[in-house]
Amino acid sequence: MELIKTVDLNFEYALADHKSLNHVDLSVDSSDFITVAGSSGSGKTTLLRQLKPELWPVGKRTGEILFEGKPISEMTAAESAQNIGMVFQSPEDQLVMDNVLQELAFSLENVGMAPNDIQKRIAELVSFLGLQDILYANVQNLSGGQKQLVNLAAVLILRPKLLLLDEPTAQLDPIATKEFVSLLKRIHDELGIAIVMNEHVLDDVLPLSNKLWIVDNGEIAYSGDVSTVLQQLWEQPKLRAFVPDVPYVFLNNQLTTKLDLKQLPLTVVKGRDVLQQNQIGFKQDRLDNTPPNASKKLAAKVSHVSFEYDKNGYYILDDLNLSVNENDWLAIIGKNGTGKTTLLKVIMGLLPARRGSSKLLGKRVKSWDKTEFYKQVCYLSQTPSEYFAYDSVMEEYVERGKQLGLADPEAAAKDMLEQMTITHVADQNPHDASGGEQQLIALGMLLLSQPKLLLLDEPTKGLDPIRRTKLGNILKNLQTKQGLTIIMVSHDMAFSAKFANQCALLFDGKIVSQEEPHAFFAENFFYTTTTNRMLRYQLPEVIDRGEVAQ
């Protein structure tokens, strides 16, 4: 049964000089699980918002949007809330109450449900989702994965027919991501709710999907069953980066043709089974993670650092030690809530350590001249909008150049926009850019000072596969040109494996492991790459799909 349909849908933001959606014709059936992919800023979020009337952005809209055969514009707010649910990228964006129970009740109170019925619905959903242990917890004390689960629960409690999700796993660690995606499968299969989900990392979600849409410049460029669309993407070299690791290995080695496969394998277990049954062997073209100008001199040294948020509370960092050599790229990995972001803030001096000390570029943080410190040492948080103060991206860059005393701020701004591949948003308000574009805008502002040490908190969040690779190459190039040292917190295993030369695991307040990527990921079972999971039986230290060759 057709649930929602658009006919010649066009949309242009107010004050924009181009359409964000262009002649979009789509249909979602009640049984669909659809994944939507595409480059950052291609119109994916804009498209989802058109399917939820309360979230319509300001601008010019033409064409038709029909829900169950009727114009969606005729739905009341209550009807839309109960029929169409949406979960956003950032777990904090939807939380409005103090604890989980209040969060669930709030949705039902808003549609005027009777108290007895509210209690019954909450009891049923809490049992289905397994929320009993956190029902009375303060939402601000939950991990990122738990917060996103609560957001999902607050939408599901209204029993929608259609669930829209905008990169809901972008800030979740690999384990939390798999748990969240598995829950979506239960919701779809057991509750019969149609799902349309924007996502950049497709490895976990495509095996659950019956359709894949690729959005390009505001148009649905490709649509159809998953296997067919992936093979269409493979025929376009510029789009091959969107193909997940398992099918990538098969397509890159022409195995679909050699083995006459009707469907591309999408999961680790299916891919491995096909390879073993057909006795397919690979060799490893080992990735060289050695930094361009390896050094024994320390860029950062953290000694016996402990930190607690509440006095007499538990230590989220507990006697932690960490050393990073100049020109190294260190990726710090760990579960949501283990203290990775806290560690970066303590290193930067943004949070005061209870015990211990940090030395950056040979000096204790407190002994630096603040102006010089923030030129030499830069920190990119998970919220890039915190860095914006002006009405256009170009103005942000020019004003930052003036603050730094650059000889020609405008020329420096133009060069950085080109380097970050965001010239197309130069005249836009940075707050109007997509999440991925905002990441690049904020990073470019920091790089204008040519820092020696860069701390990055989830830098690939919101970036499509093509831009993730470009970002990695940009940072690698800066390591060569200006001796940049990088300390990065990331949930992106594939990015860390490809670009970092050191990986560390944070657990129970301490760094429990720090090794070269091949050794690090080969020893891990959960915190490793999809390629390693599929091929470790024959290539134990393979970590990147580009290393796989016949």
pLDDT tens per residue across span 255-289: 999 999 989 999 999 999 999 999 999 999 999 88
> Minimum mean pLDDT among 91-95, 335-339, 342-346, 531-535: which range?
91-95
Q: What is the pLDDT of residues 79-132, one digit of tens each?
A: 998 999 999 888 777 888 989 999 999 989 888 888 888 999 999 999 988 888
Q: Say whether both 213 and 80 belong to one domain.
A: yes
Residue whose entry in the numeric block shows the structure tokens 């269409």: 232
Q: Say whether both 31 and 107 belong to one domain.
A: yes
Predicted confidence (pLDDT) at residue 148 exceeds the cutoff of 90: no
Q: Say whether both 146 and 40 belong to one domain.
A: yes
Q: Is residue 408 part of a domain?
A: no
Residue 337: the pLDDT is 83
Residue 77: the pLDDT is 87
Rounded to an integer, the average pLDDT of 190-203 is 94
Residue whose entry in the numeric block shows the structure tokens 């990735």: 287
Residue 186: the pLDDT is 93
Q: Which of 196, 216, 239 is the last residue of a domain?
A: 239
Q: Say whether both 181 and 329 belong to one domain.
A: no
Could you tell me the pTM of the whole model? Answer: 0.90
Rounded to an integer, the average pLDDT of 445-472 is 93
Q: Is residue 340 part of a domain?
A: yes
CATH number, position 369: 3.40.50.300
Partners of residue 486 on adjacent β-strands: 329, 454
Rounded to an integer, the average pLDDT of 63-85 is 93
Q: Which of 239, 254, 281 is the last residue of a domain?
A: 239
- pLDDT tier at 513, thresholds 50, 70, 90: very high
Q: Is residue 111 part of a domain?
A: yes
Q: Is residue 274 part of a domain?
A: no
Q: Which of 190, 220, 239 is the last residue of a domain?
A: 239
Q: What is the pLDDT of residues 348-379, one digit of tens each?
A: 999 999 999 999 999 998 899 999 999 999 99
Q: Is residue 411 part of a domain?
A: no
Q: Tell me how far CA of residue 263 lies from CA of 251, 267, 275, in angstroms.
A: 11, 12, 14
Residue 116: the pLDDT is 87
> Minimum mean pLDDT among 11-20, 258-267, 462-471, 517-526: which range?
11-20
CA 100, CA 97: separation in Å to the nearest integer? Answer: 8
Report the amino acid identity of residue 528.
Answer: T
Predicted confidence (pLDDT) at residue 312 exceeds the cutoff of 80: no
Q: Say whether both 138 and 59 belong to one domain.
A: yes
Q: Say whether both 52 and 180 belong to one domain.
A: yes
**In sequence order, what E strands does 192-297 have?**
194-198, 211-216, 219-224, 283-284
When the pLDDT of each residue in the chain is averaged and rounded to a whole number, the result is 92
Of 336, 330, 367, 365, give the one whose Cα is nearest residue 351: 365
Report the amino acid identity of residue 342.
Answer: T
Residue 27: the pLDDT is 96
Residue 305: the pLDDT is 96
Q: Say whether both 40 and 183 belong to one domain.
A: yes
Residue 313: the pLDDT is 76
For the chain, how many structural domains are there in total? 2
Q: Say whether both 311 and 234 belong to one domain.
A: no
CA 135, CA 103: separation in Å to the nearest integer? Answer: 10
Residue 199: the pLDDT is 94
- pLDDT tier at 433, thresholds 50, 70, 90: confident
* Residues of the domain holding 231: 2-239
Q: What is the pLDDT of residues 39-48, one digit of tens each?
A: 888 899 999 9
Residue 303: the pLDDT is 95
**Residue 211 token pair:** 């359709």
Rounded to an integer, the average pLDDT of 337-346 is 92
Q: Say whether both 209 and 307 belong to one domain.
A: no
DSSP 197: E
Q: Is residue 546 part of a domain?
A: no
